[in-house]
Amino acid sequence: MRAASAIISEAFGSGGAQSRTVVRNPRVLLLATQVFSTNGGVPVYMRRLIEVFAGYVEQQDGQSGVVALERVGATSSAAAGSHKGVYLLRGAPVKPAYIQAAFRVAWEMRPHLVVAGHVGLAPVAWLLQQAHLARQFAVVLHGTEAWRRCDWTDRAAARDAAALVATTRYTAEAFARHNGTSPKRMRIIPLGLEERETGKPAARQRTARDPLRVLAVSRLSSADPYKGIDTLIEAVARLEGRRLPAIRLEIAGTGDDQPRLQALAQSLGAGHCIQFHGAVSDEQLRELYAGCDVFALPSKGEGFGIVFLEAMRFGKPCIGGNHGGVPEVIDHGVNGILVEHGNIGQLVNALADLAASPARTAELGRNARDKVAAHYLFPAFASNWHRFLDDLFGISHTTATTTIAS
- The CA–CA distances, whole Å, from 37 to 47, 69, 83, 252, 300 equal 11, 11, 15, 18, 25
**Strands 186-188, 163-166: parallel, antiparallel or unpaired by DSSP?**
parallel
368-390 confidence digits (pLDDT tens): 999 999 999 999 999 999 999 99
Residue 196 buriedness (CB in 10 A; 0-12 / 13-18 / 19+) = exposed
pTM over 0.75: yes
Which residue, 375, 359, 252, is CA-closest to 313?
375
| 326 and 337 inside one domain | yes
Residue-level length of the chain: 406
d(CA 116, CA 121): 5
Q: What are the strands of the beta sheet with 113-116, ordered from one edge?
A: 86-88, 63-68, 27-32, 113-116, 136-141, 163-166, 186-188
**Do the Cβ atoms of 255 and 219 come closer than 8 Å?**
yes
| Domain containing residue 350: CATH number | 3.40.50.2000
| 162 and 178 inside one domain | yes
Average pLDDT over the chain, rounded to an integer: 84
d(CA 126, CA 141): 16
244-278 confidence digits (pLDDT tens): 668 999 999 999 999 999 999 999 999 999 999 99
Report how many domains make up the chain: 2
What pLDDT band is residue 80 in, cutting at 50, 70 and 90? very low
Measured in whole angstroms, the distance separating CA 265 from the mean position of its chain's CA atoms is 29
| 146 and 14 inside one domain | yes
| 93 and 144 inside one domain | yes
| 165 and 55 inside one domain | yes
| pLDDT over 90, % of the chain | 62
Partnered with residue 320 across adjacent β-strands are: 297, 338
Domain around 18: 4-192+377-392
pLDDT at 252: 96
| 155 and 25 inside one domain | yes
